[in-house]
Amino acid sequence: MISFQACETDKDDQSPSISLSLSDAFPENCDTIYMGEAFTFKAEFNDNVELGSYSLDIHNNFDHHTHSTDPSECELDPVKIPQSPWVFIQQYNIPEGSSTFLANNRIDVPDSIDPGDYHFYIRLTDKSGWQTIKGISIKILEK
């Protein structure tokens, strides 16, 4: 009689986490960044098995739509029609085998964009495809 036993593997059934609780995390909800200057995005990502990739999306919130996952609300400027809004969308890979990763990305803000209310959207995906999204509100202003 022949018997087979299947190898049981660890199943990833948890979403990864995004932490902005580092002492130098940036931006946080309601932070301000400035036109024509660079800032550094800093956050910590964790997963129970292995991280995959993350993307950053910055777009205007001149119509007051919401993606916020933060419980506190920011003071918004009056609704306005975009003339020259900024859109930034970038995907980043995380080194293979990482279950913890410190994101540290320099982002240059153009100087010829509409100032005002923007969303900063972080999308983190682990190697198994689980995803976590964090949406915060920021202001982009002239200095």
pLDDT digits (tens, 9 = 90+) for 33-74: 999 999 999 999 999 999 999 999 999 999 998 777 777 889
For residue 90, give both structure tokens. 């970038």
Q: Which residues in the chain show pLDDT less than 50?
A: 3-8
> What is the rounded distance in angstroms from the CA atom of residue 87 to the CA atom of residue 140?
12
* b/e map 59-75, b = 16+ CB within 10 Å: bbbbeeeeebeeeeebe
Are 106 and 37 spatial neighbours (Cβ–Cβ below 8 Å)?
Answer: no
Q: What is the pLDDT of residue 96?
A: 97
CA distance to 26, 53, 55, 93, 103, per residue, from 114 (Å) = 21, 30, 23, 30, 27
Q: What is the pLDDT of residue 72?
A: 81
For residue 129, give both structure tokens. 């495809």
Q: What is the pLDDT of residue 126?
A: 98
What's the CATH superfamily of 17-141?
A: Domain of unknown function DUF4466 (2.60.40.3550)
Q: What is the pLDDT of residue 69?
A: 77
Q: What is the pLDDT of residue 8?
A: 47
Is the omega angle on the peptide bond into residue 27 within 30 degrees of 0, that is, cis?
yes
Residue carrying the six token digits 């994101």: 103
